[in-house]
Amino acid sequence: DIQVTQFPSTLSASVGDTVTITCRASQGIINGWLAWYQQKAGRAPKLLIYQASTLENGVPPRFSGSGSGTEFTLSITSLQPDDVATYYCQQFTSYPWTFGQGTKVEI
């Protein structure tokens, strides 16, 4: 199985800050087949980014993804109160699909 390590586990920042979350895979992720999700408390996850850097329709452009190989990042610029949530990455290179442990973003 591909292990996905996500850090930090918790992140506290101020409105307007830029924050970065990192996912590191135990094996190379082929063709950037990695997605990022946002999950608010008690809700289903919401797709933010796929193929490492492609923004899902309707997602604000303050969210961006980058990376290749084994290291990927999600950045949120100009952090907003609505961005309070837990963020997960997920690899789609090989089954079983695996998620990072999650990063809780607080303001």
How far apart are CB 48 and another protein at their closest, in Å? 10
* Residue 18 or 50 with smaller CB distance to another protein: 50
**Count of residues interacting with another protein (CB under 8 A):** 27
Considering only residues 21 through 40, tell me which ones interact with another protein, judged by CB under 8 A: 31-33, 35, 37, 39
Q: Return left, alpha or beta for 70; rule: phi > 0 is left, psi -120 to 50 is alpha, else beta.
A: alpha
b (16+ CB within 10 A) / e for 86-105? bbbbbbbbeeeebebebbeb
Site string for another protein, 54-83 (x = CB under 8 A): x-x---------------------------
Residue from 19, 65, 100, 105 that binds another protein (CB under 8 A)? 100
